Amino acid sequence: MRDFEFLEPASVAEASRMLADLGDSCRVFAGGTALMLGMRQRMLTPSHLVSLGRLEDLRRIGFDPRGGLRIGALALHADVARSPVVQAHYPMLASMASRVANPQVRNQGTIGGNLCYADPATDPPGCLMALGAQIVVSGTGGERVIGIEDFLVDYYVTALAGDEVVTEIRLPPPAAGADGLYSRFLRTAAEHRPLASVALSVRRERAFCVDVRLAVGASTPIPARLRRAEALLAGKTVTAELAAEAADIVAADINAVSDLRGSASYRREMVRVVARRTISGLFGVASE
Ligand SMILES: Cc1cc2nc3c(=O)[nH]c(=O)nc-3n(C[C@H](O)[C@H](O)[C@H](O)COP(=O)(O)OP(=O)(O)OC[C@H]3O[C@@H](n4cnc5c(N)ncnc54)[C@H](O)[C@@H]3O)c2cc1C
């Protein structure tokens, strides 16, 4: 690994100034789980790391019934999973976070680092997309709030400018009748990363689907909302047949990637199965 300098700013503003001054040769360091792997493999060779470790405020998770949820970028996956307010108001998010990787990664990796790396084979981005997340970023020019669908630009690419740091993830308050289910499919039990994921967030009255957001992740370059399938489900009573029809649309509409872990056609089939089970599972209708 190339030698580097480890900088520890005392504020977000100082971190942004460092990033602006040092330019491309520098990287933000949060939990280091993704960064260290990239540096050991010499895929990344920064001369400086700007650690966020002293910015305690970025670890907070807070909920307000009117404002919704605010998760500091430095919250660990394990913090999100065991947060009482996340468990009470966003159980789908808590459940997703409790399944990320393994205990080591959950207790070292941060939710902000996960989003900023934009590795497609991960869990939070799709789940946060289905929950309507907004990403708060701060740079030398001030703060911006970006919807997650605009924040995630492409395979390992985000909308972050070079001097910007993600400070917070915001979720709107859950509406009356809100419910959700996050499902992930692993190719083998020993492989931690998902090959496909489906996040379904709805407003429902028993089996009647009032409103829906459905996002597929891990099998596509970046997670995507499946709007044709959403339109099919919204305003209907969900049956096993409707769930299967929506899952077929999901599978047809995704931009499936093909790589060493699975071909595009394999991923498409897995997404079809996971989507059908997720929709029918949430609405309690039979699915083989
Ligand atoms: C063995 C292994 C298995 C894994 N399995 C899964 C899995 O099953 N599911 C899953 O979801 N994820 C999985 N991951 C990925 C894991 O979620 C991420 O590695 C982790 O969340 C990254 O967070 P970090 O704090 O360690 O980021 P770092 O490694 O510190 O940073 C990652 C990148 O984001 C940038 N960055 C970090 N924080 C910020 C910020 N606040 N603002 C701006 N830029 C920032 C860094 O500069 C770097 O480019 C796995 C990782 C490993 C190593």
| Residue-wise pLDDT tens digits, 107-157 | 999 999 999 999 999 999 999 999 999 999 999 999 999 999 999 999 999
**Percent of the chain that is helix, strand, coil (3-state, to 5):** 40, 30, 35
Residue 123's closest CA among 86, 162, 80? 80
Q: In whole angstroms, what is the distance from residue 211 CA to residue 132 CA?
A: 13
Last residue of a domain, one of 119, 149, 171: 171
Q: How confident is the model at residue 286 (pLDDT cuts 50, 70, 90)?
A: confident
- Asked if the structure places residue 288 within a domain, the reply is no
From 37, 95, 122, the mutation candidate for ligand 1 (largest count of ligand atoms within 8 A of CB) is 122
Number of H helices, E strands in the chain: 12, 15
Report in angstroms the alpha-carbon separations of 185 from 109, 217, 268: 21, 10, 12
Residue 46, domain extent: 5-51
Can you say whether residue 105 is alpha, beta or left, with left for phi > 0 and alpha for psi between -120 and 50 degrees? alpha
Query: Rounded mean pLDDT of the chain?
Result: 96
User: Residue 189's domain is classified under what CATH number?
Assistant: 3.30.390.50
Same domain for 184 and 165: no
User: How many percent of the chain have pLDDT more than 70?
Assistant: 99
As for how many domains the chain has, the answer is 3
User: Residue 88's domain is classified under what CATH number?
Assistant: 3.30.465.10
Last residue of a domain, one of 108, 141, 171: 171
What are the residues facing 170 on neighbouring strands?
Answer: 70, 134
| Host H or E run for residue 80 | helix 77-82
Residues with CB under 6 A from ligand 1: 27-35, 37, 52, 73, 100-101, 105, 109-110, 112-114, 116-117, 122-124, 160, 165-166, 192-194
